[in-house]
Amino acid sequence: MLTKHFIQVGDKAPDFSAIAVYEQEFKKIKLSDYLGKYLILLFYPLDFTFVCPTEITAFSDMCDQINSLNTDILGISVDSEYCHLAWMQLDRESGGVGDLKYPLVSDLSKVISESYNVLNSEGKAFRGLFIIDREGIIQHSLVNNLDFGRSVNETIRTLRAIQYVQNNPDEVCPANWQPGHTTIKKSPSKSKKYFESI
């Protein structure tokens, strides 16, 4: 009997095609359209809720910095594109998200959320975050339960670390690494230099 394959870091990101809302318009997008760039997939439970707008707007506010790292963002929930549009047309003070700097994808069929293993028993998406590299490979995944949000700053730090080690394959990034900080050489003898310095 075949068992279901659960995706994990190092796997090819499951492709999908869906309708998204961007700049107040409906747009068909495919994951494969983003090959050659890094991509943050930002799953969230539902529009018009409590934690969700804080995350969606926080990522939008940092979108220019993220875009400068050759990276795009896609927000995804099980709402319809019409619900996404209504949410964007409502200002932040009223519980909406206003104009966003990245698209919100409609996963009304729940196929995308299921393929990324973030669909809960109630049919909502957990707060799943995936960083996909230029080759379409998942390099980072994080899944929070519904009631607490994610850190944009930590996402950017992780993205920078991924990009650094991909550009410097003989080095690895230690805990709490930040750009400009010392890395570790992937060698038993050369790594000692890092450990002697801490």
- Pairing, β 17-22 against β 25-30: antiparallel
Residues with active-site annotation: 52
Write the pLDDT tens digit of every residue in 32-69: 999 999 999 999 999 999 999 999 999 999 999 999 99
Model pTM score: 0.94
- DSSP E strands in the chain: the ranges are 17-22, 25-30, 38-43, 71-77, 104-106, 127-132, 138-144, 171-172, 184-185
The class of domain 17-151 in CATH terms is alpha beta
pLDDT, tens digit (0-9, with 9 covering 90-100), for 2-28: 556 789 999 999 999 999 999 999 999
